[in-house]
Amino acid sequence: MTDSKADCYYFIVNPRAGSGKTMYEWLPAERRLKRLGIPCDIAMTDHKRHATALAQHAAAEGYRRIIAVGGDGSLHEVFNGICRWCAATGVPTEEFLIGVVPIGSGNDWIRSLGVPNDTTEVIDLISRNSCGSMDVMRVKSSGGRTAYMANIGGVGFDSHVCKRVNTQKESGRRGKMIYLNSLRYTIFNLKSIYISVVADGEVVFTGLSFSVAFGNGRYSGSGMRQVPLAVMDDGLLDYAIIPKAPLLKVVRELPRLFNGTLNQSEYVISGKCRSLQIVPMDEQSGDIFELDGEIEGWLPMSIEVTGHQIRVIKGEGA
């Protein structure tokens, strides 16, 4: 690893993020990087999951400051590229710094870090080396698949909202309304799944459930707070289980998703742990799950706090 690359920022730009406005916002940000004298190299993605491969290649080349230019999906890919390379090589994730120059339609990860949703301000944070730390969460699922989660994941209601949002994005739709419309559609077409949830080796729930969310960060879906007490560097994973209940009762609880009080609902089972397993109890309940807004596999799945951390760009005073 050369010192020049270790001290150089590597920006992975998703030109399709943010309804195609990436280059309109990125080019001024790139010029600001140069004016501030921040050493950087830039790569462009040209297909889904490309950012993961680019991050792995950058890590192998010696870069240790890797920034996604896009949204939560771009960050998820970059984070997975770094973590997978570290797992394969034995290099600790603590050597790396990640961040997001926010241009995507979903920028929930940065909210928990106090990072402004403004490209110019984020470049200024980078220039001032405003950094914190984040726990690394590893996920294993059926078929022996391993992935990593930076922000929030979920099963049931959560994963099907994400699936519908991503389908609309792929058809060219953008904006906060696709999250709200997907939320409304999923609520009124919700099916329960029969699952068992195990936290730190203890069964905390078995039965019919509408949703299980688990998070390192607090925000998802353009501002929803399913795990409002989550802290990114406390060495713990937060979870929230919504058992099956009459639809009217579920709908009445919806404001809690946005005001940060979901954990106070009498219908929600919540807590903190270091490991969480979700196991389907029948064939019909082998549902999909999502991580950071991306569908990543099928139940059964497990997620654990690895004990490692990674450095992150954060807002000053966060």
As a whole number of angstroms, the distance between CA 51 and CA 77 comes to: 6
Q: Does pLDDT of 163 surpass 90?
A: no
The pLDDT value given to residue 21: 67
Q: What is the rounded average pLDDT of the residues 221-248?
A: 93
User: DSSP class of residue 251?
Assistant: H
Provide the percentage of residues in the chain whose pLDDT is more than 70: 93
More confident residue, 168 or 69: 69
Q: Tell me the average pLDDT across 94-106.
A: 89
Query: pLDDT of 4-62, one tens digit each?
Result: 898 899 999 988 765 566 777 888 999 999 999 999 999 999 988 999 999 999 999 99
Cβ-Cβ contacts under 8 Å for 36 (sequence gap 6 or more): 123, 127
User: Do 314 and 124 contact (CB within 8 A), yes or no?
Assistant: no
Q: Is residue 284 scored above 70 in pLDDT?
A: yes
Q: Provide mean pLDDT across the span 92-113.
A: 91
Q: How far is CA 117 from CA 172, 233, 314, in A?
A: 22, 21, 12
pLDDT band at 112 (very low <50, low <70, confident <90, very high): very high
pLDDT over 90, % of the chain: 71
- Domain boundary assignment for the chain: 3-129, 140-306
Q: Residue 175: its pLDDT value, please?
A: 61
Angle formed at CA 165 by CA 161 and CA 171, multiple of 5 degrees: 150
Average confidence (pLDDT) over 239-248 = 92
What pLDDT score does 76 carry?
96
pLDDT bin (cut points 50, 70, 90) of residue 3 is low
User: Is domain 3-129 annotated with CATH 3.40.50.720?
Assistant: no
DSSP type of residue 90:
-
Task: For domain 140-306, give the fold.
Answer: Tumour Suppressor Smad4 (2.60.200)
Phi, psi of 249 (to 5 degrees): -65, -40
Q: What are the beta bridge partners of residue 298?
A: 288
Query: CB pairs under 8 A, 24+ apart, for 202-210?
Result: 204/241, 204/269, 204/271, 205/241, 205/243, 205/269, 206/281, 207/243, 207/244, 208/243, 208/244, 209/156, 209/241, 209/242, 209/243, 209/244, 210/156, 210/157, 210/242, 210/243, 210/244, 210/245, 210/250
User: Tokens 């696709």 correspond to what residue?
Assistant: 178
Per-residue pLDDT for 119 more than 60? yes
Q: In the 8-state DSSP scheme, what is residue 224? A: B
Least reliable range by pLDDT among 96-100, 155-159, 238-242, 273-277: 155-159
pLDDT confidence bin for 104, thresholds 50/70/90: low
pLDDT for res 2: 41
